[in-house]
Amino acid sequence: MSALGLTGVLGGCGAGGDSSDVTLTLVAADYGTGEADSSEKYWADLVERYETDHPGVRIDVSVYSWNDVDRKVKEMVDAGDPPDMAQIGAYADYAAEGRLYRAGDLLSIPVQADFLSQLSAAGEVNSVQYGMPFAASTRVLFYNKDLFAEAGLTPPKTWDELAANAEALAARGVTYPYALPLGPEEAQAETMQWLLSGDGGYTDLAGTYGIDSTENVETFSWLRDELVGKGLTGPVAPGKLDRAKAFEAFAAGDVGMLNGHPSLMEMAEKKGVEFGMVPTPGADGASPATLGVADWMMAFKENGHRDQVGDFLDFVYSEENVLDFSREYDLLPVTGSASRTMAASERDKDLKPFLDQLPTSELYPVGNTSWAAVNAAVKKQIGKAVAPGGSPAGVLGTLQATATRAESAE
């Protein structure tokens, strides 16, 4: 995909022209689906309001697609010309290289304290916060209400109930009784959701990788034997099914159940699919935790401007602006103040199932610079664990070895 915003720089409404003025550069990701809801519009409005009250500061924002934005920032950093701020998918490598301001050196105390605690913790490297959460989401189990009603089913609370429902849907000819996207697009998300529901995860409580733990091997053995092996995951092998294709199939009415995030609501509604949402089933009841995902804001030290960057970010993280962004893109607020407002608001009731999951959500180990290598390996290999004749213990053991090597290289 082509980059968005290469020539369309935002800002300038309140900037003066003398040499005392400061220009701050921000590279941001696009959360929209097209020109009509591009993030360029969100930033243009926010920047205009900020510059009106800060005539000595100009904010230049360049917005790129998610396919391009992380690469673009890396190219700028490698060229010795990093932006003042970047709103992208990962921060740990830049923090480990000493390139980023600490959040506490930028934000006012009330603003930094307003971040949800688990998101703040996920933004830390060696117990110091560098990554500032910008957007968050969680996962719930979506199910097709019409398909369930036709089969006389109720939403599952356990793995066994999910498998029984999938068998009933398969008997009625549903294309994907349960859609299991372990393809390279976002396999790390579906994987972690299942690991958590089996009381496991990528890391243990101390933050040490335990990918081949007994719990994780049992989870993927169950998936291989009880869902994939019984033909309950559809015509596309899980290792080749991407999340976007699974979402499209659900919106087309071809999926009985799948794990989804808030954007699936709008996709399904546009296609007229009646759906329900329930907490992710676990081995013996509701999953003890769900997957939380966050995107990150960071500020580079190279150009200085600490005070101006901090003041602008205080504005970015005001309750009004956090709510505006979250509502525009069906995402969850990253601050306590905006979360409380959303939880009490009738207009945000559709997001409440996801918001309810946020306090018990667990995030990827993004504070580890090793996560990039582990993430890439999961996307490439995890589908093999549930393939016919596949070895969950073998695949997870290989991934653990990858994680150990990546940790040793830090």
Beta bridge partners of 143: 257, 276
Q: Between the CA of residue 287 and those of 199, 214, 215, 304, what are the distances in Å?
A: 8, 17, 13, 45
Quick check: 159 pLDDT over 70? yes
Beta bridge partners of 362: 291
Contacts of 352 (CB under 8 A, 6+ apart): 343
User: Which amino acid is it at 250?
Assistant: F
Mean pLDDT to the nearest integer, 125-141: 94
Q: Which residue has the higher pLDDT, 10 or 403?
A: 403
**Are 92 and 125 in contact, with CB atoms under 8 Å apart?**
yes
Quick check: 75 pLDDT over 90? yes
The three-state secondary structure class of 80 is: coil
**Alpha-carbon torsion 24, 27, 31, 37, what sign?**
positive
For the CA atoms of 347, 350, 353, 356, the dihedral, rounded to the nearest 10 degrees, stands at -20
Mean pLDDT to the nearest integer, 73-86: 96
The pLDDT assigned to 18 comes to 38
- Report the chain's mean pLDDT, rounded to a whole number: 91
- Please give the share of the chain, as a percent, with pLDDT higher than 90: 83
**Alpha-carbon torsion 117, 120, 125, 128, what sign?**
negative
Mean pLDDT to the nearest integer, 399-407: 95
DSSP readout, 115-171? B-HHHHHHTEETTEE-PEEEEEEE-EEEEEHHHHHHHT----SBHHHHHHHHHHHHH
Mean pLDDT to the nearest integer, 296-315: 96
- Other CB atoms within 10 A of residue 3 CB: 16
The first and second tokens of residue 206, run together, are: 């101390």
Quick check: 304 pLDDT over 60? yes
- The Cα 183–Cα 239 span in angstroms is 4
The pLDDT assigned to 4 comes to 30
**Bridging pattern class, strands 361-363 and 290-299:** parallel
DSSP readout, 199-261? T--SB-TTS-B-TT-HHHHHHHHHIIIIIITTT-S-SS-GGG--HHHHHHHHHTT-EEEEEE-
Q: Where are the alpha helices (DSSP H) in 318-391?
A: 319-328, 336-344, 352-357, 371-381
- Please give the share of the chain, as a percent, with pLDDT higher than 70: 95
Task: Point out the least confidently predicted range of 35-39, 70-74, 260-264, 326-330.
Answer: 35-39
Quick check: 7 pLDDT over 70? no
Give per-residue pLDDT as tens, 182-227: 998 889 999 999 999 999 999 988 889 999 999 999 999 999 999 9
Mean pLDDT to the nearest integer, 307-318: 97
Q: What is the band of 315 on the pLDDT scale with cuts at 50, 70, 90? A: very high
Task: Point out the least confidently predicted range of 45-59, 262-276, 354-368.
Answer: 354-368
Quick check: 155 pLDDT over 90? yes
The pLDDT assigned to 97 comes to 93
- The Cα 175–Cα 365 span in angstroms is 34
The pLDDT assigned to 67 comes to 81
Mean pLDDT to the nearest integer, 243-266: 95
- The Cα 135–Cα 114 span in angstroms is 14
User: Which amino acid is it at 147?
Assistant: L
The pLDDT assigned to 359 comes to 83
Instruction: With residue 313 as reference, give the H or E element that holds it.
Output: helix 306-316
The pLDDT assigned to 20 comes to 55
Give per-residue pLDDT as tens, 10-45: 443 333 333 358 999 999 999 987 788 889 999 999
Mean pLDDT to the nearest integer, 99-114: 97
Task: Give the global pTM.
Answer: 0.85
